[in-house]
Structures are given as C-alpha cells and as structure tokens.
Amino acid sequence: MLTLIIGGARSGKSRFAQSLCCSSPRVAYVATARVEDEEMRGRVARHRQDRPPNWITFEEPLAISEIIRQHTLKFDFMIVDCLTLWLGNLCWSMRENSFQALEWRALDEVERLVETARSTRLVVVTNEVGQGIVPESPLGRLFRDLQGWINQAVAGKADLVYQMVAGIPIPIKSQKGGNATPHGSGSYRRFARAMWDHLERFR
C-alpha cells in the first residue's frame, strides 16, 4: 500500500506521516537529508526527537528504493522523508551530467520506489514546489519541473494521497483509478520524453 503526503514547508507533513504509523511497533524511517551544516543538523535532531525511540532509521540520500527492497519484510511500515531532499541530492550528484540523464535517473528511481509498495505499507513525504516563483536558473527550473512530474507519478500510483495545509491533512485521493497521470509499463519514461520535447522548444 502506498500513501503520499504532499505539502509546503512546515505544513506538518512529517508529523502526519509519523501519526499514520505510530500504532505499529515495527517502523523504518528512511531519511534522505544530507547533514552538511549546523542548521540542517538541528533540523535532523528535531525530527529524531519527534520519532518513537523504537523506530529504525536509515539515512540514505540517494538509493532509497534499494533500502526499502532490502528491508521491506522486516517492518510493518516504511516512511520515506522526503522525495524533495532526495531529488536535490540527485541533482547535485549528477551536476556534471546532462539534464536529460538526470531526468531518466530520477524517474527510474521513482518507478522502482513505487514498485516496492507492492510488498509493504509505504508512506512517502514530498513537497509541493510548483506554487511559488519561477526559478532563475535552468537547473532550478528543471528541479521544479522534475519534482512536479515525480509527484504526479507517485500520486497516480498511490492508494491514498493527503495534502497538508497548516498542519491539517486534506485527503485528495482515497482509492486507485480516476487519475489523469499515465500508468503502466514505461509510462514514466514516455511521460518524461513528452515533457522533455516540450521544454526543448522553450530553451
């Protein structure tokens, strides 16, 4: 079962994700943040304090689907927090590659992530980044676009989708079907290919 929680910064996404799993004794938390300065170290410490002490934490900035695949049978729930930091890590790790290579890598990883939800109860946290200003740099615009496509892809496959607004979870999808996001084998690649061709006209 796949649950997606989407919202802006400090909207209560992580806390709500944890509340969905708190009744289970076997929960894994896949944290994607890189701790590279004191501000981020403080954020991570606060998140750790919010989690029950018996939860197991995996700190993995990139290979999230592999972590889930390796440990899925050991836990009742697995939380990925969050896809936005993961995508930022991927953009940085592939900064010398082409934009198209970054797109394919990101969408491939998301496809593998969605597949793991067939064998576990997976809760994925992500940010809504498309409602602010248009980024100045090409990489910033690609990041925004990629995050939007990734959110659509995961939401299209999710059983449940919640949007967080000021700490309040708003259910926006309660069952599969009736979603315009393309599904099926290779759908993410076809979707990305069409979007890439569209973007190329404006570069």
- Contact between 114 and 2 under an 8 Å Cβ cutoff? The reply is yes
Distance (Å, rounded) from C-alpha 4 to C-alpha 157? 9
Q: Is 71 a catalytic residue?
A: no
Nearest to 87 by CA among 28, 134, 149, 167: 149
Torsion sign across C-alpha atoms 121, 122, 125, 126? negative
As a whole number of angstroms, the distance between CA 14 and CA 7 comes to: 10
List, by residue number, the catalytic residues: 47
